[in-house]
Amino acid sequence: MKADAVFECWAPFAEPWSLWARPILFAQMAEVESQPSAPAVRPAIDVTWAPPLADAAVLVIDLPGEQAVWTGLALAGRGYRPVPLFNACTGPHEVIDHGPIIHALRVGAEILTKTP
């Protein structure tokens, strides 16, 4: 899946909350699109602590690395919609390795296409 299609899965243009999504890491995907990706191990994350969706709740999840992506996807299974707000980029002197986050976002796009 191309980077722009991955971003569209996470931030459909027609949805108002998509304006909050940051495309920076998705733009970085283009550099590694031709490389085969290892299958991601999607961890089982307990999100039973989250309030029911009927409560019109908004959750701000601030977790390290790809754990934020996996938690957002777990919450998507309960009806929430994850919005990626990673506002950083890759580079030769990056402090945080964004590779695992980019990989989780790519795998997550496939998951989101199957999530109602």
pTM: 0.85
Residues of the chain with pLDDT under 50: 34
SS3 27: helix
79's torsion region: left (phi>0), alpha (psi -120 to 50) or beta? left
Taking Cα atoms as reference points, which of 42, 32, 94, 39 lies closest to residue 71?
A: 42
Residue appearing with tokens 């994850």? 82
- Token readout for 15 is 């949805």
Do 24 and 91 touch, CB atoms closer than 8 A? no
